[in-house]
Structure 1
Amino acid sequence: MENKKSVLTLISLIVLGGSVVGSLFVGVLVYFLLSSSGVEGALVKAVYSTVIIQIAFLIPVFMVRMLIDKYIVAKIKEVTKALQEVSTGNLDYQVRIDGDDELAQLAESFERMRISMKTIMDKLEEGEI
């Protein structure tokens, strides 16, 4: 099986890259402000502020990533698994996704299609069609 990157991983990398650039920008601004004001240890304070900003940003990003994985990506993986099973002829594989969102509606539509296909295949095997 191919090693594919998850969309969630790519989004996380983009957000992480943006946070690094943003915190470095803030660190540079802090350094220039402190050094132009004649504050001792401006570089050290700027580095500390950069690290603190980065850590403060990473915590909510990680939490949002976990929520996206739980509520969106897991549902997509379940529908994908069902598609793979049915495409190989396993018409008994059921997909069940709870919720009222678009992914649950997609799973419900897929389940109706699977049941219709199974009914047609059963009728063909029994010679009714």
Structure 2
Amino acid sequence: MNLQTLLRRSVINKILFITLSGAVVFSIASVIVYFIIFSNEQTYHLVEQLIAYAKAHPFNFSLLLGFLTFQATLIPIVMTYFLIKTEIINPLNEIADRMEKISVGELEEEMIIDREDEIGNLQESFERMRVSLKVIIDKLESEQL
């Protein structure tokens, strides 16, 4: 089974892959930035000034480092949020909207199944249920006439 098939068949695999890919890209970018910073002789003077500031103002420096850490954690949090929203929440809301339509008797509109993962399985089950309901209702209506 290749990577594309694995990602297409599971939402959690897709989320894991994208999150790990983001972490790898972020790590590589960090290494490059650190190399550029520390390969410059003037940077050592800046680091010495930062250490002196940290010694003189430990609370302020701790706040600064905490803020920078928070900023770094926002990247994967935001990525994960948008990924979960687009891959899970939006499709489930679409299915819930379709269920609402069916609950008021609108059985004509076919659900398009565009995924092969768990959400796609739910879409397929939902579509089979819609078709079964339509057949049962049509049969009942024809028997009453």
TM-score of the aligned structures, taking structure 2 as reference length: 0.57
Q: Does residue 47 of structure 1 match 2:55?
A: no
Q: Provide the residue aligned with 1:82 in structure 2.
A: 98
Considering only CA atoms, is the larger Rg found in Structure 1 or Structure 2? 2
Matches within 5 A, 1:1-129: 39-127=55-143
Amino acid at match of 1:110: F
Amino acid at match of 1:119: V
- Is the contact made by 1:97 and 1:107 (CA closer than 8 Å) also made in structure 2? yes
| Deviation of the 1:85 alpha carbon | 0.9
RMSD (Å), alpha carbons: 2.1
| Deviation of the 1:74 alpha carbon | 1.1
Unaligned runs of 5+ in 1: 1-33
Structure 1 segments (4+ residues) deviating >4 Å: none
| Deviation of the 1:124 alpha carbon | 2.4
TM-score of the aligned structures, taking structure 1 as reference length: 0.64
The CA deviation string for residues 29-60 of structure 1, in whole angstroms up to 9 with x for no partner, is: xxxxx8xxx81111111110011011111121
In the alignment, the residues of structure 1 paired with residue 75 and residue 141 of structure 2 have an alpha-carbon distance, to the nearest angstrom, of 56
3-state SS of 1:91 partner:
coil
Q: Provide the residue aligned with 1:23 in structure 2.
A: none
Amino acid at match of 1:81: D
Amino acid at match of 1:115: V
State the identity %. 33
| Deviation of the 1:128 alpha carbon | 8.0
Structure 1 residues 112, 64: closer, same or farther in 2, change over 3 A? same
- Is the contact made by 1:95 and 1:111 (CA closer than 8 Å) also made in structure 2? yes
More divergent stretch after superposition (86-95 vs 53-62): 86-95
- Is the contact made by 1:75 and 1:97 (CA closer than 8 Å) also made in structure 2? no
In the alignment, the residues of structure 2 paired with residue 95 and residue 50 of structure 1 have an alpha-carbon distance, to the nearest angstrom, of 48
Amino acid at match of 1:62: V
